[in-house]
Amino acid sequence: MNYFNYFTEIEERFRAARETGLFLLSPLDWALIETWKESGVPLEAALKGIDRSFEKRRRRPQKFQRVNSLAYCAQEVLRAAREMAEGGASNEAPAADSGFEPPRLSAYFRENAAALRESARDPAAPQALLEETAAELEAMASAAEAGSLPSLEEAERRLTALESRLIAAVEQGLSADELVGLRQEMERELAPYRSKMTADQLARLERQYVQRACLERLSAPRLSLFYLQ
């Protein structure tokens, strides 16, 4: 299992467990997956938690509402992660070498660079920063083509730093009213799931939600290798 399939594996398992065919995860769901990834929840634990949640649901005599959010599985995912940790299961991610050949990496970096340059055409956008980030990505693409790109882990750290700069620029440019509106929208989406999550998990989820919203305002792509298809 390639470590960078973490997101898509969870998405596919949740879709299959719902037994309803096509289903698109919401931004809140994707933010939740990011909190699991950041906190070191093994993929196996996430998949096991999803399966357990739906097994319990199927055993109930009455099911009044369809499950429409991955947050429904949050408690079982964390329980499965704790069991793995207590049982001495390895939490290390498998090696991430296959599937990330230089041509694929180069194409991914250049596609994102082009998207950022397109976003920079908006007069209200932080044009200089977008252009600078695009140039950084193009340099990474050239390094991949030349076989001089550092390890995937180092590349991921660099991408995370570039993305963080974009998010910070958007946050600094938001007015007080826009910040309040963003927080209110987040609170509405999170309200049904607060009782199912720990305080630490909620804090991570809130941060990821704001970060995703900032990039959406820029019409900017996620830069992490986790989004390489």
Concatenated DSSP letters of 73-101: GHHHHHHHHHHHHHTT---PPPP--TT--
Burial 101-114 (b: 16+ CB within 10 A, else e): eeeebbebbbebbe
pLDDT for 91: 42
Let me know: does 117 contact 134? Beta carbons within 8 Å: yes
DSSP of the chain: --GGGHHHHHHHHHHHHHTSS--PPPHHHHHHHHHHHHTT--HHHHHHHHHHHHHHHHHSS---S----GGGGHHHHHHHHHHHHHTT---PPPP--TT--HHHHHHHHHHHHHHHHHHTTSTTS-HHHHHHHHHHHHHHHHHHHHT----HHHHHHHHHHHHHHHHHHHHHH--HHHHHHHHHHHHHHHGGGGGGS-HHHHHHHHHHHHHHHHHHHHTPPP-SGGG--
61-92: per-residue pLDDT in tens?
665 567 888 888 888 998 899 898 887 544 44
For the chain, which ranges sit under pLDDT 70? Answer: 1-4, 20-24, 61-65, 88-99, 229
Q: What are the boundaries of each domain within the chain? A: 3-86, 102-227
Distance between CA atoms of residues 161 and 197, nearest Å? 28
Q: Rounded to the nearest 5 degrees, what angle is found at the Cα of 224, between the Cα atoms of 221 and 225?
A: 120
pLDDT the model gives residue 63: 56
pTM of the model: 0.63
pLDDT for the residue 7: 81
Q: What are residue 138's phi and psi, to 5 degrees?
A: -65, -35
How far from the centroid of its chain's Cα atoms is residue 147's Cα? Answer: 28
